Amino acid sequence: MANELQDPRHSSAGAWAKRLYFASRAVMESVLRPYDIGSTQWYVLYQLTNDGPTMQRDLGRMLQVERATLSGIVSALVRKGLVEQTPDPADQRQRMLRITASGLKLWDELPDLALIEALAFDGVDAAELATVVKVLQAATQRLNNHLSKEIVDGDPLQP
């Protein structure tokens, strides 16, 4: 992101969004390290445990992650024997993901990561939190809009 410019940048909301993201990931990964899984792998296990077998395609949408990315994450879990990946009989293009017995066993040992979110925003005023969500959401949308327009119009940042 290169957001640590002296000027407006190192104290900007964007820079803090990045820092929070990395701090949050660092906590999750330090908690998960002993179990040898990463933060997104954790979510896949969460999903498969709580909602049962899921199509890889649908999981990608829930996670908002590209197919290529999820492909790597799933293959890591399959390699570790925690998840089973089988072709869907109805549509051979799709893959069905299912947690294995070994995956379920690991899941039961895992600490509750939801506490991290609680820890981060503990005691913050609800109205302020709502403002944060509103502003970040709006900013994200503006950037994403810009991104789509760019494809059509060329690069508006370079007049």
Partner DNA sequence: GACAAATCGTTCGGTACCTAGCAATATTCG
Partner DNA sequence: CGAATATTGCTAGGTACCGAACGATTTGTC
Return residues touching DNA (CB under 7 A): 1-2, 18, 22, 26, 36-42, 55-57, 60, 63-76, 85, 91-95
Using the contact rule CB under 8 A, the part of the chain among 75-83, 84-92, 95-103, 133-141 near a copy of itself is 133-141
Please, which residue, 127 or 147, has the CB nearer to DNA?
A: 147
Binding to a copy of itself by residue 149, rule CB under 8 A?
no
Cβ–Cβ < 8 Å for 101, 108:
no
Please, which residue, 64 or 158, has the CB nearer to DNA?
A: 64
- Cα distances from 106 to residues 30, 99, 113, 123, in angstroms, run 16, 10, 14, 32
Binding to a copy of itself by residue 40, rule CB under 8 A?
yes
Binding to a copy of itself by residue 71, rule CB under 8 A?
no
Binding to a copy of itself by residue 153, rule CB under 8 A?
no
Two tokens, residue 153 = 């119009």
Classify each residue of 35-49 as buried b or exposed e, where b means 16 or more C-beta atoms within 10 Å of its C-beta. Answer: eebbbbbbbbbebbe
Selection from 38, 131, 48 nearest residue 95 by Cα:
48
Q: Which amino acid is at 55?
A: M
CB of 62 to a copy of itself, least distance (A): 6
Binding to a copy of itself by residue 16, rule CB under 8 A?
yes
Please, which residue, 131 or 137, has the CB nearer to DNA?
A: 137
Beta bridge partners of 54: 97
Selection from 47, 15, 41 nearest residue 29 by Cα:
41
Cβ–Cβ < 8 Å for 110, 48:
no
Residue ranges in contact with a copy of itself by CB under 8 A: 1-5, 7-9, 11-14, 16-21, 23-28, 30-31, 39-40, 42-43, 46, 62-64, 111-117, 119-122, 124, 128-129, 131-140, 142-144, 146-147, 150, 155, 157-158
